């Protein structure tokens, strides 16, 4: 049976058309993304390494707890001990920049899907394609359109990491109960007020889960993107593979794992219910500093009343 559908030829024709007609747009996208990546990298590198490590430990302790703070201390010691701190900072900057752009595009698409069934019907197969496509495939158009370096790596990363933010934003808004929506309408909410004051706050745990998954996928893709010059910890792993240096590759992989655990637990804490684990470190310090005089005064008053 001589039957062929030349999808590959069509894709190549589309790529050629984009290169011939949309070069100014591609340059503008590359310049904007390069600016964002450099801004985050410079912001992280402006801190002395020990100060930045201490800030990460304090953030981990504040958001998750003192036990995870101890883990963060151990992770920082390992990163410094393996001499991969600079690579970790580069990877962190790339993950943050890619994730922010992915969320800035993905969350509005998720909101549009939740509010319009036709948008969902169109977007769902595109998301299926984005999530099932092997991640290495994204490197090809990124390298063709944007060359080699951090920018094509970030573009491949944000495309690969965007679907969870879209899906879970859509799911979270659609799971808001009809009673809450009807109550908002009964109190005279406009469409935008209903979205921002009722639906989005109630859908926030699901949206935060999407943000967490986006960051995790971005971190995994950043390692793959090192093949087109994204740098960071992925470059350490790639160098280990090229030299057949198991130790170097393991150190780069361990750095990725430590960074993934830190980012995962910290971002999860923003979507979890804190009442189960009690007040955070800052709240406990406020309670200690702010209520102690009242407690002492209450104790004195109680003593005086008892004496009377």
Question: Sign of the C-alpha dihedral, residues 69, 71, 74, 80?
Answer: negative
Average pLDDT of the chain, as a whole number: 81
Dihedral angle over CA of 25, 30, 33, 38, nearest 10? -150
pLDDT band at 111 (very low <50, low <70, confident <90, very high): very high
Q: How far is CA 228 from CA 84, 149, 156, 224, in A?
A: 20, 6, 10, 8
Q: What is the pLDDT of residues 51-105, one digit of tens each?
A: 989 999 999 998 888 888 899 999 999 989 888 888 888 888 888 888 888 899 9
- pLDDT at position 20, please? 82
DSSP state, residue 176: S
pLDDT band at 290 (very low <50, low <70, confident <90, very high): low
Report yes or no on 184 lying in a domain.
yes
- pLDDT at position 298, please? 46
| Containing structural domain, residue 65 | 30-271
Q: Are 234 and 252 in contact (CB under 8 A)?
A: yes
Identify the three-state secondary structure at position 245: coil
* Furthest-apart CA atoms within the chain: distance in Å: 105
- Given a cut of 80, whether residue 260 has pLDDT beyond it is yes
- 163, burial (CB in 10 Å: exposed 0-12, middle 13-18, buried 19+): buried
**Range with the lowest mean pLDDT among 131-135, 226-230, 250-254?**
226-230
Q: At what angle do helices 135-146 and 7-21 cross, to 10 degrees?
A: 30
Structure tokens at 3: 């039957």
> How far apart (Å, rounded) are the C-alpha atoms in residues 149 and 143?
9
Residues ≥6 apart with Cβ < 8 Å to 81: none
Structure tokens at 75: 């992770």
Report yes or no on 145 lying in a domain.
yes
> How far apart (Å, rounded) are the C-alpha atoms in residues 170 and 117?
11
- 18, burial (CB in 10 Å: exposed 0-12, middle 13-18, buried 19+): middle
Report yes or no on 292 lying in a domain.
no
> How far apart (Å, rounded) are the C-alpha atoms in residues 129 and 304?
74
Q: What is the pLDDT of residues 132-159, one digit of tens each?
A: 888 888 888 888 888 788 888 888 888 8
> How far apart (Å, rounded) are the C-alpha atoms in residues 148 and 153?
8
pLDDT band at 271 (very low <50, low <70, confident <90, very high): low
DSSP 43-66: HHHTS-HHHHHHHHHHHHHHHT-H
Report yes or no on 183 lying in a domain.
yes
Report yes or no on 285 lying in a domain.
no
pLDDT band at 303 (very low <50, low <70, confident <90, very high): very low
- 12, burial (CB in 10 Å: exposed 0-12, middle 13-18, buried 19+): exposed
pLDDT band at 276 (very low <50, low <70, confident <90, very high): very low
DSSP 251-283: HHHHHHHHHHHHHHHHHHHTTS-GGGT-S-HHH
- pLDDT at position 112, please? 92
How many folded domains does the chain comprise?
1
Structure tokens at 227: 């093949």
- Given a cut of 60, whether residue 284 has pLDDT beyond it is no
Calculate mean pLDDT across residues 237-245: 84
- 224, burial (CB in 10 Å: exposed 0-12, middle 13-18, buried 19+): buried
CATH number of the CATH domain containing 144: 1.10.3720.10
Q: How far is CA 163 from CA 2, 47, 57, 94, 143, in A?
A: 37, 33, 30, 18, 21
């Amino acid at each position: 049976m001589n039957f062929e559908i030349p999808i590959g030829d069509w894709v190549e024709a589309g790529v050629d058309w984009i290169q011939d007609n949309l070069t100014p747009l591609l340059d503008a996208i590359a310049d904007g993304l390069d600016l964002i990546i450099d801004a985050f990298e410079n912001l992280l590198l402006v801190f002395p390494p020990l100060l930045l490590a201490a800030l990460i430990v304090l953030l981990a302790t504040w958001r998750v707890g003192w036990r995870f703070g101890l883990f963060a201390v151990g992770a920082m010691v390992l990163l410094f001990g393996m001499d991969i701190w600079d690579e970790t900072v580069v990877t962190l900057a790339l993950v943050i920049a890619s994730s922010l752009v992915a969320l800035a595009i993905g969350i509005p698409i998720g909101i549009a899907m939740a509010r319009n069934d036709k948008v969902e019907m169109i977007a769902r197969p595109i998301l299926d394609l984005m999530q099932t496509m092997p991640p290495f495939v994204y490197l090809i158009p990124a390298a063709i359109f944007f060359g080699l370096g951090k920018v094509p790596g970030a573009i491949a990363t944000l495309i690969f990491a965007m679907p969870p933010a879209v899906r879970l934003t859509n799911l979270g808004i659609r799971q808001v109960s009809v009673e809450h929506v009807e109550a908002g309408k009964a109190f005279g909410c406009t469409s935008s007020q209903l979205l921002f004051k009722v639906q989005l706050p109630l859908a926030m745990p699901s949206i935060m889960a999407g943000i967490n998954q986006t960051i995790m996928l971005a971190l995994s893709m950043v390692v793959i993107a090192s093949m087109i010059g994204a740098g960071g910890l992925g470059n350490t792993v790639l160098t280990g593979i090229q030299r057949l240096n198991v130790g170097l590759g393991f150190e780069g992989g361990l750095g990725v794992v430590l960074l993934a655990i830190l980012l995962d637990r910290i971002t999860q804490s923003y979507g979890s219910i804190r009442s189960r684990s009690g007040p955070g470190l800052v709240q406990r310090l406020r309670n200690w500093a702010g209520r102690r005089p009242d407690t002492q005064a209450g104790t004195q008053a109680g003593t005086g009343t008892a004496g009377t």
